Amino acid sequence: MAEKPVVAIHKLSKAFGKRPVLENINLEVQQGEILGLLGPSGAGKTTLVKAMIGLETPSSGSVTALETAMPNLKIMEKIGYMTQADALYHDLTALENLQFFARLYGLKKAQRKERIEEAAHLVNLTEHLHKTVSQYSGGMKRRLSICIALLNKPQLLILDEPTVGIDPVLRKSIWETFRSLKDSGTSIIVTTHVMDEAEKCDRLGMIRNGRIIALGSPDELMARCNARTMEEAFLYFGGVNDEN
Amino acid sequence: MRIRALVIRILQQFYRDKRTVAMMIVAPIFILTMVHLVFNGNGYEPTIGLINPPSNIENAFTNDSTTLYKTEKSALTDLAAGKIDGYLLIGKDLSIMVEGSDPSISKSVLEAVQSALPAGTDVPNMRIDTLYGEEEMSQFDSFGPILLGFFAFFFVFLVAGVSFLRERTSGTLERLFSSPIRRWELVLSYVIGFGLFTMLQSAIIVLFAVYILGMINEGSVFLVLLITLILSLTALTLGILLSTFAKNELQMIQFIPIIVVPQVFFSGLFPLETISRSISWISVVTPLYYAGNAMKDVMIRGKDLTEIGGPILVLLAFSTLFVLINIAALKRHRSI
């Protein structure tokens, strides 16, 4: 592709103490692409996305986002990030949470109002903005979390397990949101351990024990190993290192 | 802008968490009132022994309960038995003997004697003796000012530490650091947000103590507020710093016996001279020592700002140091 990648990871390794968490990761994400990172918990997905946004310093290798070496405060302003935990202030209302993060990204009053309305509409929370977060259901909290990540109109959206604990209907509508964002040019990186969700990504990186064991479009990956389901494919690629 | 965002959020959280706000304001008022009632009760009327008093003196004690004695020896026996609180011996000199184990009772005896003596009475040699212990009236007087400082420190330390801990454990800190906020902006926001709240908290408590409980205050009430505020900043920055080493709220509370309570010993409640040399040197590293001294200087000795500049500067230095360590310690979460 002629365009520069939105995220470029080169020979990234990360160890906590002596324990390696990521080993020799090479990965590129293009503009307007949804990249899924699929793997069991503990595989290193969260560490990988945290390295992308600059919250984790690599032991070796490099991470470039939007053509700038991370971490970089200017670039962080253009990235939306949703953590695995619902990082919300539970004693405040949803609107107050949104106002806070919008201010943090330097949005002016008029802009703030507009962006909050827009993002809340996308995740279907418009009617519940005046409730305190502690009254929210698990699914609503997740949606509010996604909503916050959308406030700064990010060019790159990184979501760590965004649909955990969300019912299928809502999950579908969230994925529709992702696709419409993708169509408007946003690159999205999603981590998941749900196989059928992985199939919805444009490209998929399978992660196990800190390594990318396979990378390609879901169809490509399944064709490569003659698998009928994503689960079979994952077992096939993972089996190489698996003695069981 | 980012600082403003954080400050607004912190204040909103206070507004929502009314129970914590109530604890920070009502609890000190409650305890101060208790202390006031327990130690400073006006209701106590001492029983005073008079040994062969001249009739004018005897009549002067009409408002007090008195017991007449023929000899000092019998008065002493009754004093030791707790039947009287003190006695007055009028010979060539005026001599007062008090029981002495309870400063507030000793004080009430002296007050009764002083108010009973006719104004302008020429007392060339007034001797005051105590049967037990020593005469430590100033000890009692210093109680209140130090308690004010202690409450400011204790509650701000705990609440600030726990809020920052929550920021870390709930994942919001991670999210904050994925935004373009700078580390110093985060720490400064906490200082401003909590500083604003603490101003309100200390104003209410200090005014309550001085104007409603009638706590001694010879100096300016604004100076008292200033000391409380600066001490709170130290508590705030230390609380945030120590929250780094706590995994949960309970571990934060575990810092109280380690960090907060020992400071009480050096705060001026107990005379430093009587504390064993092996630990008295610790006083110079405890913020409450400086705050306690400054509070006593203002409230009891009526000193002004220039005279308490030293302790205030030391407290500011503590806060600055803790702020800098905090900013550096946050590097764990993001390298820039």
B246-260: per-residue pLDDT in tens? 988 888 988 988 888
Residue-wise pLDDT tens digits, B137-164: 444 455 788 888 998 899 999 999 999 9
Residue B2 is nearest to which of A84, A104, A132, comparing CB atoms?
A: A104
Q: For chain B, what percent of residues have pLDDT higher than 90?
A: 31
CATH number (domain holding residue A23): 3.40.50.300
Residue-wise pLDDT tens digits, B321-330: 999 999 999 9
Residue of B2, B6, B8, B9 to mutate for A, most A C-beta atoms under 10 A: B9
Report ipTM (2 d.p.): 0.88
What pLDDT is stored for residue B102 in this prediction?
A: 61
Q: Which residues are paired to A29 by β-bridges?
A: A7
How is the beta sheet containing B47-51 ordered, strand by strand? B65-69, B47-51, B86-90, B94-98, B126-130
Low-confidence ranges of chain A (pLDDT < 50): 1, 241-244
What pLDDT is stored for residue B212 in this prediction?
A: 86
Q: Which positions in chain A touch B170 (Cβ < 8 Å)?
A: 85-88, 90
Query: Does the beta-carbon distance from B182 to A77 stay under 8 Å?
Result: no
Residue-wise pLDDT tens digits, B296-315: 888 877 888 888 999 999 99
Pick the CATH number of B47-137 from 3.40.1130, 3.40.190, 1.20.81, 3.30.2250: 3.40.190
Q: Are residues A73 and A89 in the same domain?
A: no
What pLDDT is stored for residue B137 in this prediction?
A: 41
Residue-wise pLDDT tens digits, A91-100: 999 999 999 9
Query: Does the beta-carbon distance from A96 to B9 stay under 8 Å?
Result: yes
Q: Which of B32-46, B61-75, B146-160, B253-267 has the lowest mean pLDDT?
A: B32-46
Q: Is the peptide bond before B118 cis (omega within 30 degrees of 0)?
A: no
* Average pLDDT value for residue range B209-231: 88
What pLDDT is stored for residue B317 in this prediction?
A: 96
What residue of B is the nearest CA neighbor of A146?
B175
What pLDDT is stored for residue B138 in this prediction?
A: 42
Q: Which positions in chain B touch A84 (Cβ < 8 Å)?
A: 171
What residue of B is the nearest CA neighbor of A82?
B175
Residues of A with CB under 8 A from a CB of B: 50, 53-55, 57, 71-74, 76-77, 79, 81, 83-92, 96, 99-101, 103-106, 132, 148
Q: Identify the residue with better confidence: B281 or A113.
A: A113
**Among A153, A174, A208, residue at a domain's last position:** A153
* Average pLDDT value for residue range B203-215: 88
* Average pLDDT value for residue range B166-177: 92
CA distance B108 to A142: 66
Residue-wise pLDDT tens digits, B125-141: 667 777 664 444 444 45
3 state SS of A14: strand
Q: Which positions in chain B touch A74 (Cβ < 8 Å)?
A: 180
**Among A119, A153, A187, residue at a domain's last position:** A153
Q: Which positions in chain A touch B335 (Cβ < 8 Å)?
A: 54, 57, 71
The number of folded domains in chain A is 2
pLDDT bin (cut points 50, 70, 90) of residue B274 is: low
**Among A117, A136, A153, residue at a domain's last position:** A153
Domain hosting A186: range is 1-78+154-244
Q: Which positions in chain B touch A59 (Cβ < 8 Å)?
A: none
Q: Which positions in chain B touch A90 (Cβ < 8 Å)?
A: 170
Query: Does the beta-carbon distance from A55 to B179 stay under 8 Å?
Result: no
What pLDDT is stored for residue B139 in this prediction?
A: 47
What residue of B is the nearest CA neighbor of A158?
B178
pLDDT bin (cut points 50, 70, 90) of residue B39 is: low
Residue B16 is nearest to which of A92, A99, A100, comparing CB atoms?
A: A92
Q: Does B170 touch chain A (CB under 8 A)?
A: yes
- Enumerate the domain spans of chain B: 2-38+142-332, 47-137
Residue A105 is nearest to which of B177, B179, B336, comparing CB atoms?
A: B179
Q: Are residues A16 and A134 in the same domain?
A: no
Q: Over 60: is that where the pLDDT of B238 sits? A: yes
